[in-house]
Amino acid sequence: MTLSWIDGAPADSLSLTDRGLAYGDGLFETILVKTGVPLLFERHLQRLASGGNRLALALELPLIERECRAFAAQLGEGVMKLIVTRGDGQRGYAPTPGAPARRILQASPLPAYPPANSVQGIRLFPCRTRLAEQPLLAGLKHLNRLEQVVARSEWSDPEYAEGLMRDTTGRLVEAVYSNLFLVKGGMLLTPDLSRCGVEGVMRAELLDMAEQMNMPVRALELRMSDLQRAEEVFVCNSVYGIWPVRALEQLNWPVGPVTRKLQNLVRQLLDI
Amino acid sequence: MTLSWIDGAPADSLSLTDRGLAYGDGLFETILVKTGVPLLFERHLQRLASGGNRLALALELPLIERECRAFAAQLGEGVMKLIVTRGDGQRGYAPTPGAPARRILQASPLPAYPPANSVQGIRLFPCRTRLAEQPLLAGLKHLNRLEQVVARSEWSDPEYAEGLMRDTTGRLVEAVYSNLFLVKGGMLLTPDLSRCGVEGVMRAELLDMAEQMNMPVRALELRMSDLQRAEEVFVCNSVYGIWPVRALEQLNWPVGPVTRKLQNLVRQLLDI
């Protein structure tokens, strides 16, 4: 039996009328747990709160925080997935205002990524699937993830650890389950996510980290031409940290000093 | 206990690792049932099959058809919702190729819409929520429906039976849970749905019906200016049939002869 809770109690099945299933009406967080502690937890809670505000989900945040900490303590080490949904629904899209959100917690083991991903870096698959521009949902880690499912099914060759996703007009956005960073002209750059994409917890951490180190950093509109001229490229998320990107089709990048520096700092955050 | 089945057997709860919950990785159909028979059933199955192809879902269609007919027979009268998902998943977006889709059937009573909706017609709410352009998913009745949830939560005044949805560039697309038709210059017009929107079963039925009656009909790009010049406007779906639209903000339309004619034909299909 894998560890899973609904609304604070052990459970492995969900009401069939849950709006998470019916409409993807909810949000999620994927949280690394080490020594019984959820890592980068304040940032995860912050993003969840902001998503809850934007979708008018009635989140009981102190309760969510308590449950996550208790669940992480039981899990010890692994990945904790928190899903919040708008709870049970009747027929029709209209939500019941103020209905308390349902809390679902699921555990999985630490993923076994090849160590080479962090050391030599990865090759990115060039996804044909484009992300739609939807400012209403941009940045949120919501449960409507068909674009990612279709993008991820474009390749099965393990040579590609991640895939590059652009929007329908060709702007760089992110990788399928990671955010994207470039180093160009000594500056740290990452795509602006006001039209689509997920505002990753590790991305937010790195943006703050760079500012604190007085490293020039910007979130802006980026295109393939920026990638062609980048000195370093990497992807990141809150579970694996940072993977240098060494190749995308004909393009190649070295694993550079900025990537290594941030990678070391992130390792201190995640390898507790 | 409400009537519900999973994979052909009575069940009221779902595995927590279902990809329908995790990613909205699936499709659904909302089917009117009268005298134990699912109505417009061939069209529902057709749309499901086409959606399954586009999302590479392994649908066992003869089995789905059998289960739906058996479920409808038990239900007698009401609305049968069929959800198919990609089944259980591990962590990560990558689908297991060929994994059989999970089949979920749920019953609800016939909705109690005010009879005036069909007779005098309805007022449309002008939704601010815009639909993103995503050709990859356009037309499909998939489980990623946050746009509809947000749009539907824009109004609670029962004066509005439906809401008009446009895309991010202002083109008319559909209503929140219905398709949209105009009569203009004696032609039956409906928005093209190659960029976003759901290809409704009743919409398909009406397009075929009009062709068979040699009524000039087209699916094309439509804007607010077309609505302003329309002689008749109506919305439709496979549960309620056709509702004339009598007003949207300052605009007003009569319940015209084309709407009444189609409404009578549709009534024969649904009032068995």
| C-alpha dist (Å) from residue B207 to A76, A202, B200 | 59, 50, 11
A189, A151 Cβ separation under 8 angstroms: no
In 3D, which of A217, A206, A251 has the Cα closest to residue A233? A251
pLDDT of residue A68: 98
Facing residue for B13 by CB, picked from A15, A24, A91: A15
B137, A146 Cβ separation under 8 angstroms: yes
CATH architecture of B116-270: Alpha-Beta Barrel (3.20)
Give domain limits for chain B: 4-108, 116-270
Asked if the C-beta of B98 comes within 8 angstroms of chain A's C-beta atoms, the answer is no
pLDDT of residue A74: 98
A232, A256 Cβ separation under 8 angstroms: yes
First-last CA distance in chain B: 27
Euclidean distance between CA atoms B131 and B248, whole angstroms: 19
In 3D, which of B197, B201, B206 has the Cα closest to residue B176? B197
ipTM of the complex: 0.96
Euclidean distance between CA atoms B93 and B97, whole angstroms: 12
Sort out which chain A residues have CB atoms less than 8 A from B83's CB and list them: 21-22
pLDDT of residue B99: 85
Mean of the per-residue pLDDT values for chain B?
96
pLDDT of residue B272: 66
Per-residue pLDDT reduced to its tens digit, B71-99: 999 999 999 999 999 999 987 999 888 88
Euclidean distance between CA atoms A260 and A263, whole angstroms: 5
Contact A106 B16 (CB under 8 A): yes
The residues near B250 (Cβ < 8 Å, ≥ 6 apart) are none
Q: Can A184 be counted among the known catalytic residues?
A: no
Distance from CA of B185 to the nearest CA of A (A): 34
Sort out which chain A residues have CB atoms less than 8 A from B150's CB and list them: 55, 136
Q: What is the pLDDT along chain A (272 residues), one digit of tens a residue?
A: 589 999 999 999 999 999 999 999 999 999 999 999 999 999 999 999 999 999 999 999 999 999 999 999 999 999 999 999 999 998 799 988 888 999 999 999 999 999 999 999 999 999 999 999 999 999 999 999 999 999 999 999 999 999 999 999 999 999 999 999 999 999 999 999 999 999 999 999 999 999 999 999 999 999 999 999 999 999 999 999 999 999 999 999 999 999 999 999 999 999 86
pLDDT of residue B45: 98
Whether A4-108 shares its CATH topology with A116-270 is answered no
Euclidean distance between CA atoms B161 and B169, whole angstroms: 25
Euclidean distance between CA atoms B239 and B54, whole angstroms: 25
pLDDT of residue A119: 97
In 3D, which of A12, A106, A103 has the Cα closest to residue A52? A103
pLDDT of residue A272: 65
Sort out which chain B residues have CB atoms less than 8 A from A146's CB and list them: 23-25, 55, 137, 142-144
Is B220 strand, coil or helix?
strand
Res B1 pLDDT > 60: no
pTM score, whole prediction: 0.97
Q: How much is the average pLDDT of B17-38?
A: 98
Q: Can A174 be counted among the known catalytic residues?
A: yes
First-last CA distance in chain A: 27
Asked if the C-beta of B18 comes within 8 angstroms of chain A's C-beta atoms, the answer is yes
In 3D, which of B95, B98, B153 has the Cα closest to residue B127? B153
Q: Which of A174, A199, A205, A232 is catalytic?
A: A174
Which residue has tokens 């009909």? B217
Contact A130 B136 (CB under 8 A): yes
Distance from CA of A148 to the nearest CA of B (A): 7
What is chain B's length? Answer: 272
Asked if the C-beta of A7 comes within 8 angstroms of chain B's C-beta atoms, the answer is no
Q: How much is the average pLDDT of B31-36?
A: 98
Per-residue pLDDT reduced to its tens digit, B176-220: 999 999 999 999 999 999 999 999 999 999 999 999 999 999 999
Q: Can A30 be counted among the known catalytic residues?
A: yes
Res B62 pLDDT > 80: yes
Minimal-distance CA residue of chain A relative to B15: A13
Mutate to test the interface with A, among B53, B75, B91 (most CBs of A within 10 A): B91
Q: Looking at per-residue confidence, does A97 or B37 come out higher?
A: B37
What CATH code is assigned to B4-108? 3.30.470.10
